[in-house]
Amino acid sequence: MNTPIVAIIGLPNTGKSTFFNKVLGMRKALTYPEAGTTRDRHFGLTSWNGMDFYLVDTAGLAAPKSDLEQNIQKQTLLAIDQADLILLMVDGKTPPGSRDFAVAQKLTQSKKPVILVANKIDSRTTKVESLASEYVKLGLGKPFLVSSVNGTGIGDLLDEIVRILKLSTINYQLSPEQGLRIAFIGKPNVGKSSLINALLKQERLLVHHEAGTTRSAVDIPFDFDNQKFLLYDTAGIKKKWKQDADVAAAAAFQSLRILSLTDVVLFVLDSSTALAVQDQAIAAQIVEANKSLVVVINKVDLISKPEQDKLLNMLPDYFSKAWWAPVVLISAKTGMNLEVMLKLVIQVHEQSQKQIPQEALDGFLEKILDQHMPGKMEDQRAPKLYNLKQIGVKPPTFKLTVNFPAALAAAWKKLFEKQFRLKFGFEGTPVIINYAKRQ
């Protein structure tokens, strides 16, 4: 299913970031540093009434006074272009001005569904509601009155967001017969295109070129060792977005699209350059999306064996949230380990679908209680574990029933997952453990 994107657009100081943080429950947003700007764009994956969507926080639309501001404005315009739904946020405590009308006109021209949101309505008085109602003049319907500070009205707004997304968002449902869906994701110039080209030149790959159904990516079906694959290629981005900053921005949105469609993500790193904060941000994006993952270190033909070993030793700490992902050293230029990489993808996908017998889960829980009984936290009752059940796959999801879930320390949960993986595997796939209170 294609996870939709909702962009928050508006003039400066209308409370867009406060709203963004409120909806995400004050979680740390995923941040994607981009060259040429001091302001990072923020993406957050959230869910409401059973529907997942990405929320995008943008800079305020204003007349740019410098090259830097002009570049920031371009990022906001790109967010409008890529969004499935737009929230036009206004300051409900001030009357609409000429700039509000200009922004509304621009959004109307985008042909995208728009919800008008009057923010900063921290108290509902007749005067405040009357002032906010003047925004009807923008021609975008009656505004939703919300307070990003105390949360008033946000639930109703989220209901409307989900209602519109269900009506307007195209879901691309792919059957298993179409292949195991994979994508190469990484920062620019790590060799993703070269890797794709190298794969498609392999004699054992039977290639069937055809246009795909995704919005701006191309999907390429091919076979390897009797396994059908569907490869998402984002090479077309550079044809549309000419400047480096535009390429990076478009690639960020494209990654969101592709992540929601893939079974296994191949996270590509360039071994000839130092690891960067941007690499960590992309890894966090993949983990946040709960996707199976293989870390692919490209261009190893350019570094020595000791340098390869040093890089491998750095990865677990640098990508601590994806410590469970396998790593493969490859060279798109020489073809080194490309088949190993594809076989690893198949194995990881199989792990994501694995189901554990209840008897084995019962035995594991009994052993944990014997060897690693959770301790009592300060001001909490002693936790007691009752049962462990598998409730889903892709990703593997389990429910551990506890008397008081809040009494389980974060360190114990981390130990539990590590012991769980040591026992049952699940290499390359996230494992979700829900700690449920006993009814």
Q: What is the pLDDT of residues 188-230, one digit of tens each?
A: 788 887 888 888 775 444 444 443 333 344 567 788 888 889 8
Tell me, what's the pLDDT at 301? 94
Q: Rounded CA gap, 370 and 108, in Å?
A: 63
Tell me, what's the pLDDT at 406? 85
Least confident piece of the model among 30-39, 269-278, 331-340: 30-39
Tell me, what's the pLDDT at 113? 92
Average pLDDT for 16-27 = 81
Residue 10 CA neighbour count, 13 Å, CB half:
25
Tell me, what's the pLDDT at 26? 44
Choice between 105 and 188, residue whose per-residue pLDDT is larger: 105
**Residue 249: band (very low, low, confident or very high) from pLDDT cuts 50, 70, 90:** low
Residue 373 has pLDDT above 90, yes or no: no
Q: Rounded CA gap, 122 and 254, in Å?
A: 36
Q: Rounded CA gap, 436 and 433, in Å?
A: 9
Tell me, what's the pLDDT at 59? 79
Average pLDDT for 168-183 = 64
**Residue 172: band (very low, low, confident or very high) from pLDDT cuts 50, 70, 90:** very low
The rounded mean pLDDT for the chain is 82
What are the contacts of 280-284 at 24+ separation with CB within 8 A? Answer: 280/318, 280/319, 281/30, 281/31, 281/32, 281/33, 282/32, 282/185, 282/186, 282/187, 282/255, 283/319, 283/321, 283/322, 284/30, 284/321
- In single-letter form, the type of residue at position 19 comes to F
Tell me, what's the pLDDT at 416? 95
Q: Rounded CA gap, 334 and 285, in Å?
A: 30
Tell me, what's the pLDDT at 126? 82
- Contacts of residue 287, defined as CB under 8 A and 6 or more positions apart, other chains included, come to 293, 321, 322, 430
**Residue 39: band (very low, low, confident or very high) from pLDDT cuts 50, 70, 90:** very low
Residue 171 has pLDDT above 50, yes or no: no
**Residue 395: band (very low, low, confident or very high) from pLDDT cuts 50, 70, 90:** very high
Residue 309 has pLDDT above 60, yes or no: yes
Q: Rounded CA gap, 383 and 385, in Å?
A: 7
Least confident piece of the model among 99-113, 141-155, 178-192: 178-192
Tell me, what's the pLDDT at 40? 44
Tell me, what's the pLDDT at 155? 93
Average pLDDT for 255-268 = 84
Residue 31 has pLDDT above 50, yes or no: no
**Residue 49: band (very low, low, confident or very high) from pLDDT cuts 50, 70, 90:** confident
Average pLDDT for 373-395 = 84
Tell me, what's the pLDDT at 213? 31
**pTM value?**
0.66
Residue 303 has pLDDT above 90, yes or no: yes
Q: How many residues does the chain have?
A: 439
With tokens 């505004």, the residue in question is 143
**Residue 389: band (very low, low, confident or very high) from pLDDT cuts 50, 70, 90:** very high
Cβ distance 261 to 213 under 8 Å?
no
Degrees to nearest 5, angle at CA 168 with 165 and 172: 90
- CA dihedral defined by 346, 350, 352, 355, rounded to 10 degrees? 180
- Contacts of residue 115, defined as CB under 8 A and 6 or more positions apart, other chains included, come to 85, 86, 87, 88, 140, 144, 157, 160, 161, 164
Choice between 132 and 113, residue whose per-residue pLDDT is larger: 113
Structure tokens that stand for 208 in this block: 């069937």
Closest CA to 436 of 384, 393, 396: 384
Q: Rounded CA gap, 65 and 67, in Å?
A: 7
Closest CA to 69 of 59, 54, 84: 59
Average pLDDT for 325-332 = 96
Percent of the chain scoring above 90 in pLDDT: 45
Q: Rounded CA gap, 117 and 146, in Å?
A: 7
Tell me, what's the pLDDT at 220? 77
Residue 308 has pLDDT above 70, yes or no: yes
Q: Rounded CA gap, 78 and 75, in Å?
A: 5
Tell me the domains of the chain and their CATH numbers. 5-168 (3.40.50.300), 176-352 (3.40.50.300), 358-437 (3.30.300.20)
Mutual orientation of helices 154-168 and 16-23 as an angle, nearest 10°? Answer: 80
Choice between 310 and 78, residue whose per-residue pLDDT is larger: 310
Q: In what order do the strands lie in the sheet with 397-402?
A: 385-392, 397-402, 432-437
Tell me, what's the pLDDT at 288? 86
Average pLDDT for 126-143 = 87
Average pLDDT for 37-65 = 72
Choice between 62 and 108, residue whose per-residue pLDDT is larger: 108
Least confident piece of the model among 117-131, 167-181, 355-369: 167-181
Average pLDDT for 250-268 = 79
With tokens 């809040």, the residue in question is 406
Q: Rounded CA gap, 365 and 356, in Å?
A: 13
